[in-house]
Amino acid sequence: MKKTQSIIFLLLMCMRSVAQLPEYGLHIQSYPLQNSEFTSMVLEDGKPIETKEDKITLSFNLWVRPDNVFGTVFRIITENNKNVDLMYSVSENDRRFPILVTGDAVHPIQKEVRRETWTSASLTLDVKEGNITVLYDSTEINVNYPDLKGTQKLRFAFGYCPYEGFSLADVASVNLRDISIKRGLQEIRLWKMARHNKEVCYDEISHSPASGKNTRWIIDQYITWKKIHSQQFKSSPSVAFDPTVGTFYIANNKQKLYVFHTDERITDTIQVKGGEFVANYPNQLIYLPEQHQLLSYNLNENLYSFFDPASQSWKGTQAAVQEHDYWNNTLVYNPANSSLISFGGYGHYHYNNKLLICYPYEDTPQRHLNLTNIHPRYSSSSVIVDSTLYIFGGRGCPSGRQELSPRNYYDLYAVNLLTQQANKLWEFTQIPDGGDFQPSENMVYDTEKKCFYFFSTQQGGTLMKIDTQTPHFELMSLPIGLKLEAQYMYTNIYYSPKQKKLYTVIHQAEVSGKADIGIYELNFPPIPISSFKQPDVVADNTSQNDQPSIWLYIIVGILVIAGMGVFYYRKKKAEINRVKTAAENNKKAETNSLQSETADGSLINDISEIKIEMPIHTETTTFHNYDFSKGCVCFFGGFHVVDKEGNDITALFTPTLKALLILLILYTGRDSKGIIGHKLIQLLWYDKTDESAKNNRNVYMSKLRGLLEKVGDIKILNQNGFWSIQFEEGTICDYLEALHLYKENNSQNLEKLLELLLRGMMLPNMETDWIDTFKNDFSNSTIDLLCRLLKREDLSETLKLKIADTLFQHDYINEEALCVKCRILCQQGKKGLAKTVYDAFCKEYAASLGTEYKFSLMEIIDEQN
């Protein structure tokens, strides 16, 4: 019973309800394909299922396709090599009907086959009496088959039967799903034929495999790119897309313009009557829905040419003459000011990191800005969301020189188009699963799910999803599997709200200029591949009780424990290194003139007087005094902002906005008056003139107020030249709350304070000098309190271990934390882990203080006892 509960829990964790699935099933491939291409599907991985002298019922749903309504649906084979088959046969007037075959005997089922609709069927084998009952589309027949008596084992095969000596040449063209096997009244197997792992589908009761060959899963249509157009050219074309009607424009010279209509799958050819097509390389063509215009552009020479459908001509008059410097740049249209925004590209053996802003509707010079914190690159992907340009990935190198080992980048930046300030949101530093790739020129932003989709070159073309929060890639389509090896390659992705489709263009060209264009479509919104994939865990089906082998649980347990161990070791190591760096910065900060103001701003002057006699709930270390799921600004464990709807909006804070908010909170916490205006400017805009600095301050204060409105009722106050921040009801800042609890000097609030402190170190990734002063002050108070708490006898061991770990975050060579942690681990029988903690401490102690730690592990344990 416990095993059954465990495997059910595993399946529930890995799968969603089938009710959420789109159309699903197994498509059995048959005639007119060759026999070698027929689909076969054997249940239980080809192994027999035991009858245990009880009735066995096989039931399923099938959809009969009109391709080949003739031949085998399934074949059952006993251990004595007797067969039971369901087939389709032909009667007069080419009518098709099902038949049951036992050995060589044929038993017709008087029910004409209904095509292209889901039909239920079941077959019950009574091995005691030797009887078979078939129920097909509400029509029932009963057959006596004496050779069935006493059968102990049954093998099941759908479609082409792969068992030696039992193959049949004709296979019916059907789709299958919801294959169930019952022993008596108990259902022991259920293969939905929905989620799968390549050619294997696992049942949802015991995770037993049904293994196939030449499988074609109906559900895969939702994650498969469908090719809808291909075209060849003698020279490389440029491609644009009109999302309002779902039309592609393809131009490779000024004589012809091809128009491909995705709805009708037809291509019109427009004979261009005049004008200059100014693009001097592919791809410099874009359709502007807001303007209802097709625009060719030339970034090198700042040339633009609109296509006029009425006169069937380009409106450009100046031909391009310069060689191109922006191969494989990424370009988007900004409707806010009708500009084109380009980033990166390649030309003359160099990559660039140039943000280029062009104005095709104005006689205005281009604006150039090098985004110095982004390495030069080409083949990046971009999209505009509100007033932010998001740039992902690409290929290049820090120097921008082609000969100096270019590499692929997997990082995401947010560029504020109002200030042109670039902020790195995350970076993935390893080779992604599935191999290196380059993204499409543009991304598609999903406003509902707040994520980005882009087409990648991985595995011959896949759709991927990313977000602003975490460095990871989620596959959203099966690979197209193309050989993307052309001398020139360009890909892009588009979304059409009308068709609710994603489209991708793949452009490959040879050195000669000969080019191929392929256009593919995918349903929107896309569905993650992980939603359809089953975990690759095979049950042991040889035991009599049809339960998974105990070794499955042992292996899974070992893997989970090992993974957790590696995770926590790496996390702990990273925390120790961050704290060590922060401590060094704190030491430097003590000599800085900006730190001289801390004397009258102590967090708490009489911390030694805090009473800590109050009982703390030790049954669990999870407290529930605070809700940080919405309406909060958090410092502990890292800077984190959640709006009043529960959305994480941390990424919306640029470095300057983040610094401004932190500064207001820190100085408000020190003194309710806040920070004097000139001091604020001195810390954030010291390199600007007074007038420019004040303008910057006012602009950023306005932006910050706008963002904080998303969080809740948070006020930024300016009184008598002092700036401060005030959190009203429904909002909270964990740092200000902790200061409040410290200053109340009230033992009744000790549990609340501890809940906050255990969240993690204050701003662990922020290392600015003026921040370090506050961090140092807060750490000193925290260390004092936590050390005293460790001496209490009424706290649980679990809670003390958490306190010790929190202490190590603030003071990575804290001896009191070491002693308590090692003693508790030894008492719990985890002597090896205690030794590991001790050895790591000694190593850090020697590296920091230049001397060996003088107490042995046994000495610190004995001292505690």
Is the pLDDT score of 552 beyond 60?
A: no
Residue 583 pLDDT grade (very low, low, confident, very high; cuts 50, 70, 90): very low
- When pLDDT is averaged across residues 203-222 and rounded to a whole number, the result is 93
Statement: residue 592 has pLDDT above 60: no
Q: Give residue 210's pLDDT band: very low, low, confident or very high (50, 70, 90).
A: very high
Confidence of residue 815 (pLDDT cuts 50, 70, 90): confident
Q: Quick one: average pLDDT of 704-726?
A: 93
Share of the chain above pLDDT 90, in %: 56
DSSP one-letter code for 534: P
**pLDDT at residue 581 above 80?**
no
Q: What is the pLDDT of residues 238-252, one digit of tens each?
A: 999 999 999 999 998
Residue 732: the pLDDT is: 94
pLDDT tens track for 350-404: 999 999 999 999 988 999 999 999 999 999 999 999 999 999 999 999 999 988 8
Distance CA 711, CA 689 (A): 33
Q: Could you tell me the residue ranges of all domains in the chain? A: 2-222, 239-529, 568-791, 813-865
Model confidence at 549: pLDDT above 60 = no
Question: Residue range 593-604: average pLDDT?
Answer: 36
Residue range 577-598: mean pLDDT, rounded: 38
Q: What are phi and psi of 859, to 5 degrees?
A: -65, -45
- How far is the first Cα of the chain from the last one, in angstroms, to the nearest whole number? 44
The answer, yes or no, to whether residue 588 has pLDDT greater than 50, is no
Residue 99 has pLDDT above 90, yes or no: yes
Q: What is the pLDDT of residue 796?
A: 79
* C-alpha–C-alpha distance, residues 463 and 198, integer Å: 18
CB distance 386 to 347 below 8 Å: no
**What is the Cα–Cα distance from 506 to 525, expressed in whole angstroms?**
21
Amino acid in position 515: A
Contact 148/130 with Cβ under 8 angstroms? yes
Does residue 702 have a pLDDT over 80? yes
Least confident of 32-41, 462-471, 504-513, 738-747: 738-747
Helix (H) or strand (E) holding 838: helix 831-849
Q: Which residues contact 475 (CB under 8 A, 6 or more apart)?
A: 434, 462, 463, 464, 528, 529, 530
Determine the distance from the C-alpha atom of residue 301 to the mean position of all C-alpha atoms in its chain, rounded to a whole number. Answer: 40
Question: Any idea what DSSP says for residue 363?
Answer: T
Q: For residue range 793-805, what is the model confidence (pLDDT) as tens digits? A: 777 787 788 888 8
Q: Provide the pLDDT for residue 745.
A: 63
**Please, what is the angle between helix 815-827 and helix 857-864, to 10°?**
80
Is 456 in a helix, a strand, or coil?
strand
d(CA 641, CA 652): 9
Please give the pLDDT value at position 623.
62
CA distance 414 to 764: 22
pLDDT (0 to 100) of residue 668: 93
* 561: pLDDT strictly greater than 60: no
Average pLDDT over residues 589-611: 37
564 — phi, psi (to 5°)?
Answer: -65, -40
Mean pLDDT of 467-483: 93
pLDDT above 70: percentage of residues in the chain: 86
> 87: Cβ–Cβ under 8 A, 6 or more apart, which residues?
71, 72, 73, 98, 99, 101, 172
239-529 topology per CATH: Neuraminidase (2.120.10)
Token pair, residue 49, equals: 């299922």
Asked if 322 and 302 count as a contact pair (C-beta separation under 8 A), the reply is no
H helices of 47-107, in order, are none
Report whether pLDDT(577) > 60: no
- Looking at this protein, which amino acid is placed at residue 203? D
- What pLDDT, on the 0 to 100 scale, is given for residue 22? 60
Provide the pLDDT for residue 554: 42
pLDDT at 596 > cutoff 70? no
When pLDDT is averaged across residues 408-421 and rounded to a whole number, the result is 94
Higher-confidence residue of 620 and 81: namely 81
Rounded CA separation 440/480 (Å): 15
Higher pLDDT, 155 or 794: 155
Tokens found for residue 803: 């306190």
Residue with tokens 């007074």: 690
Looking at residue 277, what is its pLDDT? 92
Mean pLDDT of 14-36: 73
What region, left, alpha or beta, does residue 159 occupy, with left being phi > 0 and alpha being psi -120 to 50 degrees? left
Q: In this structure, are residues 289 and 243 in contact, taking their beta carbons and an 8 Å threshold? A: yes
- Asked if pLDDT for residue 567 goes beyond 70, the answer is no
- Among 132-136, 332-336, 530-534, 629-633, the minimum mean pLDDT is found in 530-534
- Matching residue, tokens 């050390």: 787
Could you give the strand order of the β-sheet that contains 675-676, starting from the edge strand earlier in sequence?
675-676, 722-727, 714-719
Query: Which neighbouring-strand residues pair with 493?
Result: 504
289 has a pLDDT exceeding 60: yes
Dist. CA 223–CA 524, nearest whole Å: 10
Cα distances (angstroms) measured from residue 862 to each of 246, 819, 855, 865: 77, 10, 11, 5
Instruction: Give the number of other Cβ atoms within 10 Å of residue 266's Cβ.
Output: 10
Indicate the burial class of 31 (C-beta count within 10 angstroms; 0-12, 13-18, 19 or more): middle
At residue 621, the pLDDT reads 46
Strand locations in 335-436 (E): 339-343, 346-347, 350-351, 354-358, 367-370, 377-378, 381-385, 388-396, 407-416, 421-427
Q: What is the CATH number of domain 2-222?
A: 2.60.120.200
Confidence of residue 173 (pLDDT cuts 50, 70, 90): very high
Q: Strands 174-183 and 186-191: what pairing? A: antiparallel
**Which H or E element spans position 452?**
strand 451-456
* Strand pairing report for 131-136 and 139-144: antiparallel
CA distance 465 to 526: 9
Phi/psi at 592 (5° precision)? -85, 140
Sign of CA dihedral 359, 364, 365, 368: negative
pLDDT surpasses 50 at 1: no
Q: Mean of the pLDDT values across residues 403-416?
A: 92
Tell me, rounded to whole angstroms, the distance of Cα 784 from its chain centroid. 41
pLDDT tens for residues 109-149? 999 999 999 999 999 999 999 999 999 999 999 999 999 99
**Does residue 618 register a pLDDT over 60?**
no
Contact predicate 679/685, CB 8 Å: no
Mean pLDDT in the chain? 85
